[in-house]
């Protein structure tokens, strides 16, 4: 999955012969583990990134996902507005324990008429993976999400 965030700055720096690391939601280097499986993730940790999510994507590589980080645990609900990929939506609490799952959520092109998919309990972290991954892994509520060392949510 290409990483375009900050691309102009990176291109400009490379033309000058310098390397400038690109921060933010890029997948490069960010990973999480759940049920012993590692996924490279894009991190959505601000309102703009969380609102955009995986909209307008035609595919998500098998070992990839998106991790949404919120400031605090609250009841959450996601929708699939302009999302073209069926997904599993996994909700985790402050201690990174799985508290709710929405599996095999279908794409939606109905704009603001798309249904929402709520968490059953307050969640701070939400992991979106390709539909079927939760079943393949046999995920159960209480399973723990492990964050890679470069993902440092604010306390």
Q: What is the pLDDT of residues 118-142, one digit of tens each?
A: 999 999 999 999 999 999 999 999 9
Judge whether 1 lies within some domain: no
pLDDT of residue 127: 98
Residue 57 in domain: yes
**Host domain of residue 31:** 24-147
Give strand ranges (E) for 1-155.
31-34, 37-44, 64-74, 77-79, 87-92, 98-105, 116-118, 123-130, 145-147
| 5 within some domain | no
* Sign (positive or negative) of CA dihedral 55, 53, 67, 92: negative
> What is the mean predicted confidence (pLDDT) over 64-83?
96
The pLDDT of 47-52, averaged and rounded, is: 95
CATH assignment at residue 51: 2.60.120.1140
Residue 90 is assigned to a structural domain of this protein? yes
**What's the number of domains the chain is made of?**
1
For residue 13, pLDDT over 60 is answered with no
In a domain? residue 49: yes
**Quick check: is 10 in a domain?**
no
Residue 67 lies in a domain: yes
Predicted local distance difference test score (pLDDT) of residue 107? 96
Instruction: Compute the distance between CA of residue 155 and CA of residue 119 in angstroms, rounded to an integer.
Output: 22
pLDDT at 34 over 50: yes
pTM above 0.85, yes or no: no
The answer to whether residue 6 is domain-embedded is no
pLDDT value at residue 26? 46
**Does the structure show a pLDDT above 50 at 18?**
no
In whole angstroms, give the CA distance from residue 107 to residue 16.
42
Longest dimension (CA), the chain: 51
């Amino acid at each position: 999955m290409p990483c375009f965030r900050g691309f102009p700055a990176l291109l400009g720096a490379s033309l000058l012969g310098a390397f400038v690391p690109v921060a933010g939601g890029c997948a490069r280097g960010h990973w999480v583990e759940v049920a012993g499986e590692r996924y490279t993730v894009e991190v959505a940790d601000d309102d703009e990134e969380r609102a955009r999510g995986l909209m307008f994507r035609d595919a998500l590589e098998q070992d990839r996902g998106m991790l949404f980080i919120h400031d605090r645990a609250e009841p959450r609900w996601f929708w699939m507005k302009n999302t073209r990929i069926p997904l599993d939506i996994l909700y985790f609490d402050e201690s990174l324990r799985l508290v709710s799952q929405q599996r095999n959520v279908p794409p939606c092109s109905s704009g603001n008429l798309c249904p929402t998919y709520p968490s059953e309990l307050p969640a701070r972290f939400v992991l979106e993976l390709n539909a079927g991954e939760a079943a393949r892994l046999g995920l159960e509520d209480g399973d723990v999400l492990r964050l890679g060392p470069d993902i440092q949510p604010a306390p």
